[in-house]
Amino acid sequence: MGEPKGVAEGVPNAVRPDPSRDDGRRAVAWLTIAAPPSWSVTPSARSWCTCGYERCAIGRAAVLQLVTAHSEHRTTCPLLTPASEGRAA
Ligand SMILES: [Zn+2]
The answer as to whether 42 is a domain residue is yes
| Owning domain of residue 44 | 29-64
The answer as to whether 44 is a domain residue is yes
Reported in sequence order, the residue ranges of 1-43 that DSSP labels E, i.e. its strands, are 29-34
Instruction: Write the Ramachandran bin of 59: left for phi over 0, alpha for psi from -120 to 50, otherwise beta.
Output: left
The answer as to whether 59 is a domain residue is yes
Q: At 63, is the secondary structure helix, strand, or coil?
A: helix
How many angstroms does the Cα of residue 70 sit away from the middle of ligand 1?
Answer: 9
Task: State how far the Cα of 49 lies from the Cα of 70, in Å rounded to an integer.
Answer: 9
More reliable by pLDDT, 52 or 5 = 52
How many angstroms does the Cα of residue 47 sit away from the middle of ligand 1?
Answer: 10
How many angstroms does the Cα of residue 73 sit away from the middle of ligand 1?
Answer: 6
Instruction: Work out the average pLDDT over 38-57.
Output: 91
More reliable by pLDDT, 34 or 8 = 34
- Quote the pLDDT of residue 29: 86
Task: Report yes or no: 6 and 19 within 8 Å, Cβ to Cβ.
Answer: no
How many angstroms does the Cα of residue 68 sit away from the middle of ligand 1?
Answer: 14
